[in-house]
Amino acid sequence: MAELLSAGITRDRAFELLNEHNKDPFHITHGETVEGTMRYFAREFDPENEEFWLIVGLLHDLDWEEHEDDPMNHTIYAAEILEGEGASPELIRAIQSHTSDYNTDLPKPELQMEKILFAADELTGLIGAAALMRPSKSCQDMEVKSLKKKYKDKKFAAGCSRDVIQQGADRLGWTLEELMEKTILAMRSCEDAVNAAMENL
């Protein structure tokens, strides 16, 4: 039986915090996209901790908008906010692990949930950008082959680190193609809900 993980805060409060610290709809939508992606993976790999996984996804970039000029301390500001909210050390650690490529003093991804967050955060950005280039504006009809072409074009969605995506796949023991396929499926599962939420922003 999997160890039960507590976030220390509810999903509703997590969403309130995301909106308190982010005003750009893009950042809120990204949080919800990664939340939905993590929910999908949790249902496959750790269903008993689904709520923990999705809160990690929702809050992973909590402090980015307010401190994007200070990437070395990204998630350190978030930790202070979350500690004040009574969030669990496990939640804070999981969130901080996804920026350990920037700041090597932060914990490295160890749990599968942390490794998936590390890989999927960057990849959801690439998939989202690629979807906007499609006639459908959707990932529902996206295939790995077309995504890989965008991945190889370093000028496309240049802010999405290919090195981090590859590191993420390596940490999970998956091929790049496996990571892409699983993450496309994860984003398909939440695309309608994220789009509906965007309309209410």
| Average pLDDT by stretches of 10, the chain with 201 residues | 88 97 95 98 97 98 93 93 97 96 92 96 96 96 97 94 96 98 98 88 67
How many whole angstroms separate alpha carbon 168 and alpha carbon 154? 18
How many whole angstroms separate alpha carbon 8 and alpha carbon 122? 26
Helix 11-21 × helix 76-84 angle, to 10°: 130
Would you call 144 exposed, middle or buried from its count of C-beta atoms within 10 A (0-12, 13-18, 19+)? middle
How many whole angstroms separate alpha carbon 85 and alpha carbon 55? 14
90-106 residues labelled b (16+ CB within 10 A) or e (exposed)? bbbbbbbbbbbbeeeeb
* Whole-number pLDDT of residue 116: 97
Q: Which of 60, 63, 32 is nearest to 128 (CA)?
A: 32
* Whole-number pLDDT of residue 101: 87
Number of H helices and E strands in the chain, helices first, is 10, 0
pTM of the model: 0.95
**Furthest CA-CA distance within the chain:** 45
Domain extents in the chain: 11-199
* Whole-number pLDDT of residue 102: 84
